[in-house]
Amino acid sequence: MAAPMILMLLCKHGKLYVEQVMALRHLWCQLGIHFLCAKQDSEVPANLKNLIFSKFNCLRMQIMGNLLAPTKDAWKKCSGPWLYFLDVRGMTVHGSGVINGQGRDWWGKALLFQRCDGLQISGLTHINGPGSHIFVVHSQDITISNIDIYSPLESHNTDGIDLTNSVRVNIRDSIIRTGDDCIAMKGGSKFININNVTCGPGHGIRYSSKCELYKYSQ
């Protein structure tokens, strides 16, 4: 059976295109393809706030276009992460899209991956994170490559990538420009390989005394 897939379609061709996509929904679900559809450059619909994806195996998520988070005023009651992946093994997140967290004092984290062994993230641009742009916790065998993360220098607590209790992590060929840590390696993380990553203008790469580095090269 093919791996389940979530295809985030940020529609460029107006209402007609959306209707054509929705007409195929039943067929796609039979093929194991789950998808979310929103108009390009629009806010994510209300029912897509605080999304939780749990207990998938070999999930593939492709993001095309601009994924714009709802504003803080539009959703005042939740302080959790915007997109939360829990117990998803062998996940791939890729595409040429932009994830815009609408920053400032919004969520504590934009994307949270917890117990997501074998996670691969590539190709995406992450901007204006509300705090941590990408947070990986209790996971192993992670690869993050060819991504671009940006938040203004004056933004607070906008770490690019946070790692906690994560093992065998490869971060490479990326540009991370944030107001806080470029990459923060926290307690329980070990065997971290960082290669060809450009950081600035924030605090650079930081690791705690409980983190074991494997390799770091500029």
Active site residue ranges: 180, 203
Contact 158, 151 (CB under 8 A): yes
Q: What is the residue-wise DSSP string for 119-183?
A: -EEES-EEES-SSEEEEEES-EEEEEES-EEE--TT-SS--SEEEES-EEEEEEEEEEE-SSEEE
What is the C-alpha to C-alpha distance for residues 85 and 142, in angstroms, rounded to an integer?
14
Burial-class residue 197 by CB neighbours within 10 Å (0-12, 13-18, 19+). buried
Long-range contacts of 208-215 (CB under 8 A, 24+ apart): 210/186, 211/163, 211/185, 211/186, 211/187, 213/185, 214/190
